[in-house]
Amino acid sequence: MDSSSLCTSAQSGQDCAEPVVYVIDDEESMRFALRNLFRSVALRVETFESSLDFLDFPKYDSPSCLILDVRLRGENGLSFQEHVAKSGLCMPVVFMTGHGDIPMTVQAMKAGAVDFFSKPFRDQDMLDAVVDALRRDRERLTAERSVAALRLAYDSLTPREREIMGFVVAGLMNKQIASKVNLCEITVKLHRSRLMRKMAAPTLADLVRKSVSLGVNPQP
């Protein structure tokens, strides 16, 4: 492996917010060229000679994409793409090859690749594809972190607050909820106020939207 980095926080366990491009190619000259290309636009880049080197490398918790050669020495890039997807390692993949053909391109795109380049390719085309891939991954990470924060907020609710939240998002009034749970209306109002505060939901519409994101079913 000949990895290079502008940030070493992956090894220290700290998050590194700036995006990173991973490159797997068994040709040293191509790794060198792509490393210089991405560094020229201030992108962090890590290069690897084999897929095993890439798998062994601790990944950054930041928007990422993978540039993958289809024909690696002793292995198939398309098969590795499937392995990456099944392992739960989520990042957009851009393929490149010196021997590309239409069926191979179709197979790669069906498997989730965001682009496919035959060597030699235009530097600007590769940069455009990588910028788009990093944008997609940034949006994915933002969505995942938003749901994770919502889950933490929901987990902080008491069992009673979760029960009342189910009735609230179903559209029931406080008086109706009080009847359902055998509490006085003022107590229901207190529980409702607390759960809205914990969920950082200023309005009923916002609480409903967050409950949908969490998969919380309204109480009948």
SS3 content of the chain, % helix, strand, coil (to 5): 55, 15, 35
Supply the pLDDT for residue 101.
Answer: 67
Matching fold, domains 9-150 and 156-214: no
Give domain limits for the chain: 9-150, 156-214
Supply the pLDDT for residue 52.
Answer: 87
Residue 78 neighbours by CB under 8 Å, 6+ apart: 70, 95, 104, 107, 108, 111
Cis peptide bond N-terminal to 63, omega within 30: no
Supply the pLDDT for residue 113.
Answer: 83
What CATH code is assigned to 9-150?
Answer: 3.40.50.2300
> For each successive 10 residues of the chain (220 residues), what is the average pLDDT?
39 60 93 96 94 89 91 76 77 83 73 84 95 94 90 95 94 94 94 95 93 83
Supply the pLDDT for residue 97.
Answer: 82
What CATH code is assigned to 156-214?
Answer: 1.10.10.10
